[in-house]
Amino acid sequence: MTTLTIWDWEVEKYPLQVGVGVIIGGWTFVKLVNYFLQRSKLKSARVRKRAECKQAKQVLEDQIKQRNISKEVVEEITNLSLSELQSKLKDGTLDVLDVLHAYQAKALECDEKTNCIIEPFKEAEEWAASVKENVSKDSPLFGVPVSLKENYGVEGYDSVYGMSVLIGKPSHEDSVIGQVLRSQGAIPYVRTNVPQTMISWDCSNPVFGATKNPHDTTRTPGGSSGGECALLAGQGSILGFGSDIGGSLRIPSNMCGTYGFKPTVGRLSAKGTHGCTKGQQIVRAAYGPLARDVDGLVTAMKALLVPLMFKLDPTVNPLPFRTEVFEDNRKLKIGWYDNDGWFTPPPCMQRGVAIAKAKLEAMGHTLVPWKPPNATLGAELYVRAMFSDKCETINEMLRYDTLDVCFMIQYTMANIYWPLRRFLVFILHYLMPSLSTGLKAIAGCDSAYDFWNLAVAAEDYRKMVIEDWQSHDLDAVISPGFGCPAIPLKTPALATSAVSYTTIFNVLNFPAGSLPVTKVNAADTANMKDYPTIDLAHKTVKKGMVGAEGLPVNVQCITLPWHEEQCLRVMKDLETALKA
Ligand SMILES: CCCCCCCCCCCCCCCCCC(=O)NCCO
């Protein structure tokens, strides 16, 4: 009888061991093969998607060449402000198609420099023709080209937000905001890039690559609506739309020197938009406009707050734009702060607030020091809510995907094995307290009971901040636009703590807008020598400030929930004072 041997084992002697070994080996082999097959499937999907989008851009570029539109005309049209453009479209000085063609050409030029566009809409010409035929010239956005962040659903187009698994799964209908925009005469013409998962303030992903800042292409444009703001800052868009669950309308506005407005959740419709935190109801995403001036934001809000939106999405508050509140010229009491006590912003951000404060005072408003109490609790609640599912939704979507550098730190922190997490939380508490707080909070919730308690804690925090605000009798508050100006590409994940300046108003669900007030100057960078380097985030910002001269610096204006018009009014006052 022959003896079956594996290596030099006699199988008959160890049947159990061999059996278990074969099962484990076979299972591991099948798992590994499956893993590599799934990864290669996703890689092919990415390659295919990139090629399709490149091809769509190429087709548009060829059309632009054929149209023979001069560079001067493109500049002339794209340099007009929104109100100038609107009046020229209305009185017929400019034709809807010419305006569209100018913006298409300018958008491709911006894309060349910053990689801000995912793809143009193939139907843009058709939509423009339909606007000319069916929409009244008196409609607020008649003939205005608009850009959309990639997570706005558009029938027949994928919303991928850097997750390869979402490639080839197109939306079946347009978002409500998209539908209302088109009914008001707007023409969507391009969709813009975002970071993987959109839970990042950088703007890169393995499908479409990194978007760069038009002011300095070695730096981030911010995120997650980074493609939108890079395009606006390069004059490749006049009006864009994005989303904000932690600052995504305001952070890239601050990095690119553009204007962004986050309304109260439920003021504008979220129907037909996409994201990977849909089931998380403690901090919800708000949708809003991005523009080149405050008038652009106001025009967009007015155009959207109409009966059609309330009909298409009856879950939104049916409150039309209150022009009387926006135009009110009563002098206001405005709180200000330049350090939230959680993350120290560099001197340029504090100077931005000082400029805004002086300008608003010169307009007759009263400015008093105030900041949201307990910013550390605000940051903790934010991170726990965002990762309350222990990152499982994202883990599932990213299982076979390539992880982008913009999400790597969040992913790693969320997935650390619990004994190691406990150990690190304990050690870091003494070395880098804010990192320790973040690491503890990002562990999320252990049960539904835990989640309910988190919801109660967030509610109590909102109540406490509102009471404090009201006890100071404030109408509005101004703060730094973010924790820092644009820092080099790939470094934002190392400075995640800087998001406390924007995330707090998502936890609170207060309307907040961002507008440019100044630029980083040589004195700001020289003053960095005293900047604290207490943890990785501060160190990253300090390093990132080298060579930052000339970058935009924004401030935020904030009001209580549903007071959007008052928030925009403060922004308008500040813009007027700055331009005077
Ligand atoms: C606030 C304290 C941070 C401590 C570090 C812990 C890591 C937590 C990671 C949280 C990152 C949040 C970034 C948010 C950026 C903006 C996201 C956004 O608004 N997206 C729009 C989606 O529609």
Give the Cβ contact number of residue 254 at 10 Å.
33
H helix count then E strand count, the chain: 22, 15
Q: What is the ipTM of this complex?
A: 0.95
Cα(96)–Cα(91) distance, integer angstroms: 11
User: What pLDDT is attached to residue 529?
Assistant: 95
Closest protein CA for atom 1 of ligand 1 = 379
Please list, in sequence order, all residues whose beta carbon lies within 8 angstroms of the beta carbon of residue 340, skipping any fewer than 6 positions away: 371, 372, 375, 479, 500, 501, 504
Which of 175, 177, 203, 224 to probe ligand 1 with, by most ligand atoms within 8 A of CB? Answer: 224
The domain defined by 69-375+470-579 folds into Amidase signature (AS) enzymes (3.90.1300)
What is the distance in A from the centroid of ligand 1 to the CA of 129? 41
Atom of ligand 1 lying closest to residue 434 CA: 4
Instruction: Show the beta-strand stretches assigned E in 337-386.
Output: 366-369
Q: Which of 466, 455, 287 is nearest to 384 (CA)?
A: 455
User: What pLDDT is attached to residue 17?
Assistant: 84
Cα(557)–Cα(574) distance, integer angstroms: 9
Please list, in sequence order, all residues whose beta carbon lies within 8 angstroms of the beta carbon of residue 71, skipping any fewer than 6 positions away: none
- At which residue do the structure tokens 């309910």 appear? 452
Atom of ligand 1 lying closest to residue 382 CA: 1
User: What pLDDT is attached to residue 16?
Assistant: 85
User: What pLDDT is attached to residue 534?
Assistant: 87
Cross-strand pairs, 210: 204
Q: How far is CA 272 from CA 153, 269, 377, in A?
A: 5, 9, 32
Which of 151, 192, 200 to probe ligand 1 with, by most ligand atoms within 8 A of CB? Answer: 200
User: What pLDDT is attached to residue 5?
Assistant: 65
* Beta carbon of 245 within 6 Å of any ligand 1 atom: yes
Token reading at 96: 């809807």
- 436: three-class secondary structure by DSSP: helix
Q: Which of 267, 325, 360 is nearest to 568 (CA)?
A: 325
Which of 160, 192, 199 to probe ligand 1 with, by most ligand atoms within 8 A of CB? Answer: 199
Cα four-point dihedral sign 135, 138, 143, 145: negative
Closest protein CA for atom 16 of ligand 1 = 246
User: What pLDDT is attached to residue 19?
Assistant: 87
Q: Residue ranges of the chain with pLDDT lower than 50?
A: 1
User: What pLDDT is attached to residue 2?
Assistant: 53
Inter-residue contact 320 to 534 (CB < 8 Å)? no
405-432 burial, b if ≥16 CB within 10 A, otherwise e? bbbebbbebbebeeeebeebbeebeeeb
Q: What is the DSSP string of 82-117?
A: HHHHHHHHHTTSS-HHHHHHHHHHHHHHHHHHH--E
- 502: three-class secondary structure by DSSP: helix
User: What pLDDT is attached to residue 499?
Assistant: 97
What is the distance in A from the centroid of ligand 1 to the CA of 410? 9
Q: Which residues are catalytic?
A: 149, 224, 248
Please list, in sequence order, all residues whose beta carbon lies within 8 angstroms of the beta carbon of residue 572, skipping any fewer than 6 positions away: 294, 295, 298, 326
User: What pLDDT is attached to residue 15?
Assistant: 82
pTM: 0.96
Cα(245)–Cα(385) distance, integer angstroms: 11
Domain extents for the chain? 5-40, 69-375+470-579, 381-458
Q: Which of 353, 356, 346, 351 is nearest to 485 (CA)?
A: 346
What is the distance in A from the centroid of ligand 1 to the CA of 200? 6
* Beta carbon of 514 within 6 Å of any ligand 1 atom: no
* Beta carbon of 275 within 6 Å of any ligand 1 atom: yes
Atom of ligand 1 lying closest to residue 244 CA: 19
Question: What value, to the nearest 5°, has the Cα angle with vertex 431 and ends 202 and 420?
Answer: 75
What is the distance in A from the centroid of ligand 1 to the CA of 375? 15
